[in-house]
């Protein structure tokens, strides 16, 4: 099956292009393209699509096909309709301006001069429950009836511009997989049609034997493009910084990204981190943290986290202190103590703290003014020998791409300019 492997950031760019292109297709009378996002459970497929809808200011509707039991939840429920009509009288007086002057003169002394009327029937189809109200208002039954469908509530109220997420679609009953093919292809389904500027995205688990999914045949696969979402610890760390995940926990996962597996996924890891974040001291609550870990992320993960605590790595200098601490010499000394130097240099810790510093700086800048003090601090960190040249470049590049406007003074520093020009 044709697919492309993307992290969250790349996926957002991919889907944003499809949305833009779909608008062009709709303007030219062509059917828009749907996107399937495949990924392990808990990797963030659904949350990423929700973020995309918010960022694009689009309405959002999620249908979990695996939880639908009745086809009516998708099609809409059947309703009996009756054809009704109302007779209206249309005046045809001789002085009606629709007549020519000669016709009005000829009719002046004849019966045509008298007001004439004709009957016009105005008909419409009325749901069974509304028939009595129409009868009260002068409508009559034509004798014809039909079976129609009442669209689902969400589509009846939908406005232009939105994302329809068909969640876990390959875990649904095969009836529903077959049913949504027309919807994926044409954005219509029996009783209803998606409004203008709507985009269909499907999420699915991989068909690798680890999940109870229904295989999709080749004819169905041609109706959409597929992106395979992969976990990227650096992207997760960037999200975690803005989401307020415990700083100690972010450090741990950056140091041990290999612990993210199908069984111990990003969702369960985040749940574990949130459940221990209230502890001021991890060391004083080690046994309880071990138990919580075993019950959420498994023995292996919990044991590694315990080792992390025992090695005092939960006490690494924080990016907040690196950026805002009043005593620069003290905090830079703390940084040196964490990273080490020469034979004791810890490249893994240096990389972790560099990533944290870059991410925190961007998050901080979105809510605060970047003062001269902070600018000077960053210049010092990126020009002295605390980090290797590649890590310095990583920090500068990440900060520049994250919020160029707020850090323009930093980017005007000659040493920083020289670094970026290499």
**Tokens 């610890």 found at:** 233
Q: Residue 114 — very low, low, confident or very high, per pLDDT cuts 50/70/90?
A: very low
Q: Residue 94 — very low, low, confident or very high, per pLDDT cuts 50/70/90?
A: very low
Average pLDDT over residues 38-42: 87
- Flag whether pLDDT at 92 surpasses 60: no
Helix axes 389-403, 347-367, angle to 10 degrees: 20
**Paired strand residues for 149:** 78
3-state class (DSSP) for residue 158: coil
Q: pLDDT digit string (tens) for 193-211?
A: 888 999 999 998 887 666 7
Residue 140 tokens read as 């009559």
Least confident of 86-90, 202-206, 361-365: 86-90
Query: How many C-beta atoms surround the C-beta of residue 29 within 10 A?
Result: 6
Q: Where are the alpha helices (DSSP H) in 157-211?
A: 174-179, 181-186
Domains of the chain (ranges; CATH) run: 4-73+155-229 (3.40.50.300), 77-150 (no CATH), 234-421 (no CATH)
3-state class (DSSP) for residue 126: strand
- Flag whether pLDDT at 104 surpasses 60: no
- What is the predicted pLDDT for the residue at 154? 75
Q: Which of 183, 334, 169, 228 is nearest to 11 (CA)?
A: 228
Q: Say if pTM beats, i.e. exceeds, 0.85.
A: no
Most confident of 33-42, 115-124, 347-356, 379-388: 347-356
Average pLDDT over residues 218-247: 89
- What is the predicted pLDDT for the residue at 113? 47
Q: Report the C-alpha gap between 181 and 200 in whole angstroms.
A: 11
């Amino acid at each position: 099956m044709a697919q492309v492997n993307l992290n969250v950031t790349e996926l957002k760019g991919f889907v944003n292009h499809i949305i833009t292109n779909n608008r062009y297709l709709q303007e030219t009378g062509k059917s828009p393209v749907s996107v399937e996002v495949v990924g392990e459970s808990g990797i963030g497929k659904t949350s990423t699509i929700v973020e995309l809808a918010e960022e694009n200011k689009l309405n959002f509707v999620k249908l979990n096909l695996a939880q639908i039991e009745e086809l009516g939840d998708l099609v809409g429920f059947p309703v009996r309709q009756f054809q009704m009509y109302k007779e209206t009288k249309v005046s045809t007086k001789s002085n009606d301006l629709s007549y020519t002057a000669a016709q009005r003169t000829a009719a002046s002394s004849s019966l045509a001069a008298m007001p004439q009327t004709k009957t016009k029937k105005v008909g419409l189809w009325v749901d069974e429950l509304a028939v009595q109200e129409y009868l009260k208002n002068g409508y009559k039954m034509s004798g014809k009836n039909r079976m129609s469908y009442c669209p689902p509530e969400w589509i009846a109220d939908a406005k232009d511009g939105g994302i329809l997420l068909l969640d876990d679609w390959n875990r649904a009953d095969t009836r529903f997989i077959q049913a949504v093919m027309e919807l994926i292809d044409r954005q219509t389904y029996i009783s209803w049609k998606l409004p203008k500027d709507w985009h269909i995205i499907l999420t699915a688990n991989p068909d690798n034997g680890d999940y109870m999914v229904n295989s999709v045949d080749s004819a169905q696969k041609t109706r959409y493009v597929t992106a395979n979402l992969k976990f990227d610890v650096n992207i997760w760390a960037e999200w975690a910084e803005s989401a307020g995940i415990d700083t100690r926990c972010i450090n741990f996962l950056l140091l041990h990204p290999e612990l993210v597996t199908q069984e111990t996924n990003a969702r369960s890891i985040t749940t574990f981190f949130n459940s221990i974040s209230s502890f001021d001291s991890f060391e004083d609550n080690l046994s309880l943290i071990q138990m919580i870990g075993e019950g959420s992320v498994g023995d292996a993960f919990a044991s590694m986290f315990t080792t992390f605590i025992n090695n005092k790595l939960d006490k690494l200098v924080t990016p907040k202190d690196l950026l805002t601490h009043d005593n620069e010499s003290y905090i830079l000394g703390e940084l040196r103590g964490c990273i080490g130097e020469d034979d004791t240099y810890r490249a893994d810790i240096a990389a972790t703290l560099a990533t944290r510093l870059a991410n925190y700086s961007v998050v901080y800048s979105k809510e605060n003014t970047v003062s001269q003090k902070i600018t000077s601090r960053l210049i010092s960190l990126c020009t002295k020998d605390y980090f290797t040249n590649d890590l310095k470049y990583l920090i500068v590049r990440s900060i520049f791409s994250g919020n160029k406007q707020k850090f323009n003074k930093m980017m005007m520093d000659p040493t920083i300019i020289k670094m970026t020009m290499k």
